[in-house]
Structure 1
Amino acid sequence: MDIVILVVVIAVVAVAAISGLVVALRGKQAGKQVPPSPPADDETATRTAPPAEPHVGDEAAPPAEEERRRTIEDVTLPADEAAAAEAEAPPVPVEVPEPTAGRLVRLRARLARSQNSLGRGLLTLLSRERLDDDTWDEIEDTLITADVGVGPTQELVGRLRERVRVLGTRTPDELRALLREELLALIGTDLDRVVHTEGGISETGEERPAVVLVVGVNGTGKTTTTGKLARVLVADGKSVVLGAADTFRAAAADQLQTWGQRVGARTVRGPEGGDPASVAFDAVREGITEGADVVLVDTAGRLHTKTGLMDELGKVKRVVEKQGPVNEVLLVLDATTGQNGLVQARVFSEVVDVTGIALTKLDGTAKGGIVVAVQRELGVPVKLVGLGEGPDDLAPFDAEAFVDALLD
């Protein structure tokens, strides 16, 4: 029995020893580093080498042949590129503007389409069998809606009522002739509507060009009107210099220069944000040097509520007058603004003594009565009207052609 127990103990000890030996061998194998297996061919192709460290001093590699230092003759400066591009660019063709004679007559149909509601409404009301107080009230409303203004409307209606009552005018043709006469009297046929572009002689004995200042609020088409006016003057055989004194709007000078290039007129401009009075002065000096007939100065679009800017506009006029009088101050008004345009007109006239009105976008509104209202407000005539987007759609204003368009 003792022998059996001894054999069992010896067997257990042997098994334990063998187990410990196995665990020790496995631990040694886990501690060894297993070398990585070699990469496949495609892995070698895609693997990139780590970036090399930058070299300094004597270790720096010599530059490649194409990267060696170039001489000044080999370098093309940006200014040289611009000059080369300008030299290669084809010259802007000089256009021959359409003659101004008869422009308003040609555009009469366009004007009639935009204003026919006014004339047609008046003729329809006057053609009623019975012209009672209600009808005359409707006539007043039609005229006021067309921005004729309360005062001029009351005058016109009062004269019409009296003449219809006394003369007993009833036929459509008679009524049309009667209305035409009264509208012409209201607009005025004896006003001086010529844009004065006659030069003179300076104090130093030099021939001085006529100077025309173009003023107005932003958005009325002031710069465009200046460019179109240049076309009108060139069409009449005059040489023109343009002054881009609107230095606060980045595109204004470029826009004006484009208009000038199209008719061969030189544009004098200054740096963006520069002194407008200085640009205007230089433009007049350039006009004297070149012997030009007219200098057109496009001023910055002033908000009539900005006192400082309006004062600066007065400064432009004073600086220009150091070389001679200003022949015209044209105020550009947008016909679609209606009565608000009268507020603008009043303030501008106080600052620069407006001598004439250029009424733009007249074909885009049925409120043609603004012609009457603005003349009554300022006591100055409408001299130019814009009737479209075309370059030759600026025309001298003609009262008879305008009234005929209303009643067409």
Structure 2
Amino acid sequence: MQRNRFLSDILTTLFDRSGTIRSVNDTRDIYALCNALLSAEGTVSGQSLAATVLERYRKLSDDDKLSFFKYLNDDLDIDATDLSALVATYATDPTPDAFKNLSNAAEPRRQELLRRLNQPVGATADIVAMRVDLLHVLKDHPELARTNHDFVHLFRSWFNRGFLVLKTIDWDTPARILDKIVAYEAVHQINDWDDLRRRLYPPDRCCFAFFHPSMPDEPLIFVEVALTKTVPGSVTKLLSNGRTPLGADDAKVAVFYSISNCQKGLTGISFGNLLIKQVVAELSLSFPQLETFVTLSPIPGLTRWLATQIDDTDHGHVATTILGGQGSAADIRAMAARYLLMAKRGDGMPLDPVARFHLGNGAEVYDIHADADTSDNGIAQSSGAMVNYLYDLSQTQRHHADYVFKSIVTAAKPAQSLSTAALSPKPKETTS
């Protein structure tokens, strides 16, 4: 028996909803079909109607898709007048029937439509793809945020932790899945199959992904892990072609060096916190000698922030030098520490999106490194700097609470020291 039987092989029979017949001869337009799906007809022929709606949707032009979203947004919205009357009734007479009527009226009909659309085989992936189209038009049509809210509301239920399955991705994983890993890698590009093999095959390299039973061939999010002796300071060295693999039993540190969200349609549905914590648990079981769990993360907002600092009387000259490609390693580390620990948005949260992710998960800023990512992208976004976030599971809950409720950015001593380190002095002005 094969040791590595993949997710789709396990779950196909459990989630088989085959037998759906598309109503290819149904001449009604997509709106009439949706209304039928929401009616009593939908309880009898729901799978067939839903499959036909989804098939028609896939063939719509961009303009017609926008019209469809406006239909969801306006025609299937709540009836505010009716809801107001039901609220008043429930306030004076909170009976179970009054509560039921109020609850039904408070839910937009588009939520029920999306639920009923999610009946045929493959429907969940179609609805996730539908939200990608919605996100494309949302900027120019902000009123559609009401419909977007309902997509997110349903996805948070459909993709909750109880349905997610963690799978190890290795060199024996089916090629159709490995192709997706290559395509979805968002942090450090995988150049070819040899590059992928170097990330999956050696004993000191691991990869884990979350899957959903209704989308068994589509990873939702995955993390690449390196096992090392010490906390690393360079992804360039970590991914070097010529490195000598470490025996897994000799490793003391697990390094999460790439976390990639795979489904744009699930933007706003957080899997990262769950993924990291479960991977830590899996690694701790497989490699009990591991002592430290850290990331080696990009700092994508550093260059943008430096560009806003060139007039600062304290460090503007350093920001200018770094932006010009002449900054010293010490100055890059110090400025990156100031950015990560002190630069905040209007709501008090850190400017850097990766920092918000890891700090929100209960990690702490551990250390910062210069010349850590010498790729074109690494130089462009952070002058090559990268940061370690430390995951101490005995402290993550406290750090999370401090971050969420007090906007505290927890930092270890190395990062704290860097944030107050002396910078290169201003060059003396020459006189003519």
Give the TM-score of the pair, scaled to structure 1.
Answer: 0.24
Structure number with greater CO (CA < 8 Å, separation at least 6) is 1
Report the structure number with the largest CA radius of gyration. Answer: 1
